[in-house]
Amino acid sequence: MRQVALLISGGGSNMVKLAQSMAEPGHPARPCLVLSNNPAAGGLARAAEMGIPTAVVNHRDFPKDREGFEGELQAKLEASGADLICLAGFMRILTAGFTAQWAGRMLNIHPSLLPKYPGLNTHQRAIDAGDAWAGCTVHEVTADLDAGPALGQARVPIEQGDTADTLAARVLVQEHILYPRVLHRFASGNRTPLND
């Protein structure tokens, strides 16, 4: 059974969907920790309601000390027994040293059709570019931001009159379907990308 740590910074809707999916019979993974850099993250209470252990490592306690912050993250992860990390709306950039420690064992969901629009403001950038499609990508995390091998994508049409918010809401619905599907495959040892 894989032990999954879910890292969040905000509301944690993807974390909830992942945790619910892991509760299904026969799932090869279980959530062992919800960890946030933000003590005010709404997802912490949602995780506690689901009976998942929670922890906070506030990045503001480590000004200009990324390694110190990540050292604390690593300590919490090791204490939890995690052998897989799912970044789920975790809004801190991780160093090459940290990503190397978790190489092949850390997934992220990003709200664009990577390699388009790594970084922030993905939906507005897709609208401004006149794209016909937006979407989301689950990928392995490497040292390069939002650039690790893709494990699955879902596409969402951009509609006339879409704002970043209306588009984000429709993409989020697809994130909630895609991420649990990819995690299930990945935790079962299947690292081939989803192709639909």
**Binding-site annotation: residue ranges:** 12-14, 66, 91-94, 108
> What is the total count of residues that contact ligand GAR (CB under 6 A)?
14
Cα–Cα distance between 127 and 163 in angstroms, integer?
8
User: Contact letters (x/-) for ligand GAR, 60-99, by CB under 6 A?
Assistant: ----------------------------xx----------
Residue 111 interacting with ligand GAR (CB under 6 A): yes
CA dihedral 101, 119, 40, 107 (to 10 degrees): -40
- CB 178 to ligand GAR: min, Å: 10
Cis ω before 149 (30° cut-off from 0): no
Distances (CA, A) of 55 to 29, 62, 73, 195: 20, 16, 9, 35
Q: Rounded to a whole number, what is the largest CA-CA distance in the chain?
A: 49
Residue 14 interacting with ligand GAR (CB under 6 A): yes
**CB of 113 closer than 8 Å to CB of 133:** yes
Among 173, 192, 188, CA closest to 13: 173
Residue 21 interacting with ligand GAR (CB under 6 A): no
- CB 52 to ligand GAR: min, Å: 15
- Catalytic residue from among 27, 59, 110, 184: 110
Residues marked active site are found at 110
Q: Which residues form the interface with ligand GAR (CB under 6 A)?
A: 8, 10-14, 88-89, 109-111, 136, 172, 175
